[in-house]
Structure 1
Amino acid sequence: MDEEESTERQLQIAMLCQRLAKMKKLYNDDLCLPSFTETTDINQLISTNSPESCQIFLKNLEKRGDPGSDPAFLFKLLDCYSKVFARFPLAKHCKTESYARMLVRYAELKGIEDPEDAPDHFSIARSHSKAFAFVHIAHAQFELSQGNSRKSNLILQKALSSNARPVELLQTAIRNLKSGKTHLLPAEHEENATPASAFSNESITIKGKQFFIFKMIGRGGSSKVYQVFDHKKHVYALKYVNLEEADAQAVESYKNEIEHLNHLQQYSDQIIKLYDYEISSSCIYMLMECGHLDLNTWLRNRKSVNPLDRKCYWRNMLEAVHTIHKHGIIHSDLKPANFVIVDASLKLIDFGIANRIQPDVTSIMKDSQVGTLNYMPPEAIKDTSSNGKPGSKISAKGDVWSLGCILYCMTYGKTPFQNITNQISKIHAIIDPTHEIDFPDIPEKDLLDVLKRCLVRNPRERISIAELLDHPYLQLQPAPEPGTNYKACAGDLKRILNELAALQSPNSIARAASNLAKMCNSGKKLDVSECVKTSSQTLWK
């Protein structure tokens, strides 16, 4: 009996192995395994075909499984689409129908993978292949499936006004939407209504140059920022702005941002660099210098700030804001997130709501409060325009208050009014001259003086950027009395310079140079090894 059971089990195992082998063969053959296993095979496939034949291949490939219920199959499909798009650039082929259909299907598949990503893919696809009605209808169908009937209608109406063809297809979709149907087109029209986007192959082309997306590093409103790199492995920040739902004011603010960056980057190293940009009716691409970290994140990750870092970053911020003020621009929304760290230096970004001062006018009126409350100056809250309409009188001194709030946060670990959680109470505290701002005592008396002079409620009495740059806080301390100083000879200077040159990190070099200056002023023997010790050792007394 045992022998029979053993034989039966062996037979069952053999049958299972045979079945598995057959399934594996069917899976490999039917799914055109070369597309899934080796990059060289898929490259060989697409290198000898056109977008039209690739679309047929991908369409037949999808019939072999169900991407909606099989995540592995979905992933493999997306990988195949990505390789096809890598071979056939968007800019060159987006006007062909077969390519547009591949773009749309990729966006739909990305919607299965992550519905939050799909709108971006559809929007960019529409901006490149907007002549085809099925591109817009596919996006509208997706939004309808997410319960966004209003947005679905907006997409269709825009497609109609932009003369997408065939117009009859759009009209049918609009009628079905208004009648409450869940499908914008009947089954027989599905094929006609089925770019991925510029991000479909995890790359994007700007003015003929291809950039590969590494990850998303920021988002806000209708914009997203990606870290990208080119063929030479140079890293950039790519800002993508979706203009589909942006109003005229928002569009203008983004165009102002480009104008300001283009103009100002030549005057200061503390302004983020804009390398290239592209503007269409539906989106904006901005290729910029990539920072390592924004100041807001940097502050959140620290319990306290090293005095040397604080002083260096303070100078960087002042120099950046001084530059824009000299060129007639008030930022009006300064906060830590507006600065990024690039090679151990802070640079100013995001001029989206900056305003150019009109000639011979020292301040301008803004009809809406756009600054962040914790950094907003009192005059931006309490002033009103002459006709009683709420507004804010913005001047260069407003930026000084905001900078003072940032420095306060770098000093005490919080903003001046952060402990007041009720927004109405916070507003009253900011504008109330009887509400005293707390300035706990600190060893650096010059720093304390800077904070107090920045956070003066009356802008006329508030210190200016130029005065802050000349303030003793940023100046080298006077040397001690002669007789106790260490006099460096030519040999000492040669040794010190060689040791500095041997340092590899920009942070180490900057820290060593600054502390060498302090040692020099204090009369201590100059020692580079002491200057590059970790910031945990107190170098500033």
Structure 2
Amino acid sequence: MFSHSALQPGRVPVVPFSIPEKEDDDDYIHRKPSKTNDSSIPTNVTFRFDQVIKTNSPESCWTYLLNLEKRGNPHTDINLLNKLKDCYSKIFSRLPMRQYSKNSSYAKMLVRYAELKGIEDPDEAQDHFIVARSNCKAFAFVHIAHAQFEVSQGNVIKASSILHKAQASNARPAELLEMAIRNLKAGEERLVPATNEEHLTGRNSLTMVSSLTALSNETITIKGKQFFILKMIGRGGSSKVYQVLDHKKQLFAVKYVDLEEADAQTIESYKNEIEHLNHLQQYSDQIIKLYDYEITTSYIYMLMECGNLDLNTWLRNRKSVNPLERKFYWKNMLEAVHTIHKHGIVHSDLKPANFVIVNASLKLIDFGIANRIQPDVTSIMKDSQVGTLNYMPPEAIKDTSSQPGKARSKISPKGDVWSLGCILYCMTYGKTPFQSITNQITKLHAIIDPSHKIEFPDISEKDLLDVLKRCLVRNPRERISIAELLEHPYLQLKPQKILTDLAALQSPNSIIRAANNLARMCNSGMELDVAECAKSSS
């Protein structure tokens, strides 16, 4: 049975439930050799891995993983990174931690898996280094790896505490800990020399993080139904999100909220989220599905649709966004927000992390701070500013209170339009409109200052440029509406342009995703001359 005591959450920003996007194994393994980083991965890698994992030998598994990683750089090759993480997950599922935690090769795998996970999401590092340290406390290199991570994050005091606790618990070799402590005191960037570091883990880098639950065989029971935990895929101030399987091997996400650690406002926000999801999902496929939930005095469970990847991570993994994919996802976002607005709900915190990719389509998640407004009003006043600064509309920042010392901000559907415009701007230019301003106070002033001109570098898609300019208008009364955006010429599909954009998609998965979305857009009534499209392709 799932232990609630194992879920003491840290105070960190909310991360939506998502699964790292990766190619199908066959596509990854059997592609033709090229000059990219993954070109030397052998075609029989799956066969070899299956043979190795059946040995139940941590040493054999570790040797295999090291050889696989030597064939490329997981920091720059997303396919290799995902392949490695998948192999580690399968090994941990086969070799339970309680049985192998005293094996040094197993401890090395825990550390390296944590580091690889951290390439995409350093925020998870804390949990997973703690798991490695608590289960493999006898090995000095495990503690040093965690301390090295803390140094990379600028947490020198915490790194020192980790090393001294390792000393107190008699982790071995003691000499290695002493060396790390000396180097930390001396202000050295590396706690141990590279040669020793390679000896510790078999690699020449100690970086970051992974999943607590991928290393266990725990289950969650919701209203009598049992779910097997695969891994933790997100966390928030009082919540953690797990990827789970039911007895039919169907994939779900479970959000667990520890109410004993949450304040009244946080508890209310989760109940608010359940209420909104229950009400909205029947009206749109672009709202994440809530299948079931369980509320007690000490916890909340929410059984939800499991996404493939959140939009924020998807954007981070790309140097540029293909115009066709950008258009598809923009329409998905508009449809989702249009639905909540029609039901009197303003989201107030739209950002890429609040959209998740599910079967080639974007869906809206996280309604914790969403607000209802009555049909006969255009906006409401809120007693505190909410939202993420890079996506926050000017009217949510301005102090509109007539009472001294009590700040209030205006919340309206047009605020969500501004936030969507910032997301589209990021998908177009690779950054948000005010991202380059690093000082937060200066950024706040720039957002509300009409004299601070937003830059719109020229692009070939003039309809897209028009959408951006009309979304990012500071006066909400003059800002374009969601209904107008859905009718905008930018969303009209042009056959010749479609073929050009499809040709620019380089991975099979991207082409399939684009094709699926293209079909959806055609079915939804978007104008497309199929005959003309066929003629253009000949």
Alignment of 1:94-109 (within 5 A): none
Residue 378 in 1 paired to residue 391 in 2?
A: no
User: Alpha carbons of 1:383 and 1:240: their partners in 2 closer, same or farther (altered >3 Å)?
Assistant: same
Q: What's the counterpart of residue 102 of structure 2?
A: 71
Alpha-carbon distance between aligned partners in 2 of 1:382 and 1:504, rounded to the nearest angstrom:
44
Letter in structure 2 aligned against 1:426: K
Figure out how many residues of one structure are paired with residues of the other and give that number.
333
- 2:382 matched to which residue of 1? 366
Q: 292, 314, 322: which is aligned to 2:330?
A: 314
- Which residue matches 1:104? none
2:414 counterpart SS class? helix
Q: Say whether residues 1:466 and 2:483 are aligned partners.
A: yes
Residue 71 of structure 1 deviates from its aligned partner by 2.6
| 1:234 counterpart residue number | 250
Q: Is the 8 A contact 1:479 1:522 kept in 2?
A: no
Find the counterpart in structure 2 of residue 189 from structure 1. none
For the residues of structure 2 that align with 1:525 and 1:266, how far apart are their CA atoms? 36
- Does structure 2 retain, via aligned residues, the 8 Å contact 1:364–1:394? yes
Is the 8 Å Cα contact of residues 101 and 135 (structure 2) preserved in structure 1? Answer: no
**Which amino acid counterpart does residue 271 of structure 1 have in structure 2?**
I
Secondary structure of the equivalent of 2:313?
Answer: helix
> In the alignment, residue 441 of structure 1 is paired with which amino acid?
D
Q: Is the 8 A contact 1:519 1:526 kept in 2?
A: no
Task: Check 1:386–1:524 CA distance in 2 against 1; reply closer, same or farther (3 A cut).
Answer: same
Query: Measured at CA, do residues 513 and 462 of structure 1 come closer, stay the same or move farther in structure 2, by a change above 3 Å?
Result: closer
Aligned equivalent of 1:284: 300
Partner of 2:410: 393
One-letter amino acid matched to 1:113: N
Counting only pairs closer than 5 Å after superposition, residues 28-47 of structure 1 correspond to structure 2 as none
Query: How much has 1:219 moved relative to structure 2?
Result: 1.1
Question: Is the partner of 2:338 in helix, strand or coil?
Answer: helix
| Post-superposition CA distance 1:329-355 (Å, at most 9, x none) | 000000000000011110000000001
Structure with bigger gyration radius: 1
Q: Is residue 245 from structure 1 mapped to residue 276 from structure 2 by the alignment?
A: no
State the shift of 1:258 in Å.
0.2
Measure, in 2, the Cα distance between the counterparts of 1:114 and 1:319: 49
Distance, in Å, in 2 between the alignment partners of 1:513 and 1:223 is 34
Q: 2:225 aligns with which of 209, 213, 218?
A: 209
- Distance in structure 2 (CA, Å) of the matches to 1:479 and 1:305: 19
Where does residue 40 of structure 2 map in the other structure? none
Distance of aligned partners of 1:248 and 1:519 in 2 relative to their CA distance in 1, 3 Å threshold: closer
**Using a 3 Å threshold, how does the CA distance of structure 1 residues 457 and 386 change in structure 2: closer, same or farther?**
same
Query: Which residue in 1 is equivalent to 2:311?
Result: 295
Matches within 5 A, 1:325-340: 325-340=341-356
Residue identity matched to 2:362: L
- 2:282 is the alignment partner of 1:266: yes
Q: Alpha-carbon deviation of 1:523? A: 4.2
Distance 2:400 2:284 in 1: 34
RMSD (Å), alpha carbons: 3.7
Alpha-carbon offset, residue 458 of structure 1: 0.5
Evaluate the alpha carbon distance shift between residue 69 and residue 440 of structure 1 in structure 2; reply closer, same or farther with a 3 A threshold: closer
- Cα 1:255–1:200 change in 2 (3 A) is farther
CA distance in 2, matches of 1:462, 1:446: 16
Distance 1:379 1:369 in 2: 10
Instruction: Specify every segment of 5 or more residues in structure 2 that has no aligned partner in the other structure, as ranges.
Output: 1-55, 57-97, 107-129, 138-164, 166-212, 498-509
Q: CA deviation at 1:243?
A: 1.2
2:223 maps to 1:223: no
1:426 to 443, 454, 461: 443
User: Which residue number in structure 1 is paired with residue 134 of structure 2?
Assistant: 112
Which of 317, 320, 327 is residue 304 of structure 1 equivalent to?
Answer: 320
| 1:521 positional shift | 7.3
1:509, distance to aligned residue in structure 2 (A)? 3.9
Contact 2:348–2:369 under 8 Å retained in 1:
yes
1:343 and 1:507 in contact (8 A); partners too: no
Contact kept in structure 1, 2:496 and 2:533, CA below 8 Å = no
User: 1:261·1:271 contact (CA, 8 Å) conserved in 2?
Assistant: yes
> Which secondary structure state, in structure 2, belongs to the residue aligned with residue 308 of structure 1?
helix
Q: CA deviation at 1:402?
A: 0.2
Q: 1:113-139 deviations in whole A, cap 9, x for unaligned?
A: 289xxxxxxxxxxxxxxxxxxxxxxxx
* 1:475 partnered with 2:492: yes
Q: Which shifted more, 408-417 or 240-249? A: 240-249
TM-score (norm 1): 0.56
Report the equivalent of 2:452: 435
User: What amino acid sits opposite 1:373 in the alignment?
Assistant: L
In 1, distance between residues paired with 2:354 and 2:421? Answer: 14
Q: Distance in 2 between matches of 1:275 and 1:239?
A: 12
Cα displacement string for residues 134-178 of structure 1 (whole angstroms, at most 9, x for unaligned residues) = xxxxxxxxxxxx9xxxxxxxxxxxxxxxxxxxxxxxxxxxxxxxx
The offset of 1:364, in angstroms, is 1.6
Residues 384, 391 of structure 1: 8 Å contact kept: yes
Name the SS of the counterpart of 1:71 in structure 2: coil
Distance in 1 between the 2:135 and 2:276 partners? 38
For 1:352, which of 368, 391, 396 is the aligned residue?
A: 368
Deviations 1:192-245 (Å, cap 9, x if unpaired)?
A: xxxxx9x98411100000001111111121111111011111000111111112
CA distance in 2, matches of 1:398, 1:472: 22
Whole-Å Cα distance in 1 between the matches of residues 467 and 101 of structure 2? 61
CA gap of 1:110–1:407, structure 2 versus 1, over 3 A, is closer
Report if the CA contact (8 A) 2:310-2:355 is conserved: yes
Q: 1:301 and 1:200, CA in 2 relative to 1: closer, same or farther beyond 3 A?
A: closer
Distance 2:136 2:384 in 1: 35
Deviation at 1:112, TM superposition (A): 3.3
1:448–1:295 Cα change, 3 Å: same
d(CA) in 2 for partners of 1:240, 1:69: 28
Identity %: 75
| 8 Å Cα contact 1:257/1:350 also seen in 2 | yes
Which letter does structure 1 place at the counterpart of 2:294? Answer: E
Aligned counterpart, 1:409: 426
Mapped contact 1:400–1:463 kept (Cα < 8 A): yes
**Aligned AA for 2:102?**
P
Which one-letter code corresponds to 1:262 in the other structure?
N
Question: For each residue in 1:470-503, what CA deviation from the matched residue of structure 2 results, as whole angstroms up to 9, or x when unmatched?
Answer: 11111245999xxxxxxxxxxxxxxxxxxxxxx9
Tell me, in whole angstroms, the C-alpha distance in 2 between the residues paired with 1:230 and 1:318.
32
| Equivalent position amino acid for 2:479 in 1 | R
Gaps of 5+ in 1: 1-36, 38-66, 76-107, 116-145, 147-196, 481-502, 531-541
Structure 2 residue identity aligned to 1:322:
H
AA aligned to 1:417 is F
For 2:435 and 2:131, the matched residues in 1 are separated by 44
- Check the 8 A contact 2:241/2:253 in 1, yes or no: yes
**Residues 265 and 274 of structure 1 are in contact (CA less than 8 Å); yes or no, is this contact kept in structure 2?**
yes
The whole-number CA distance in structure 2 between the counterparts of 1:512 and 1:359 is 34
Does the residue aligned with 2:233 lie in a helix, a strand or coil? strand
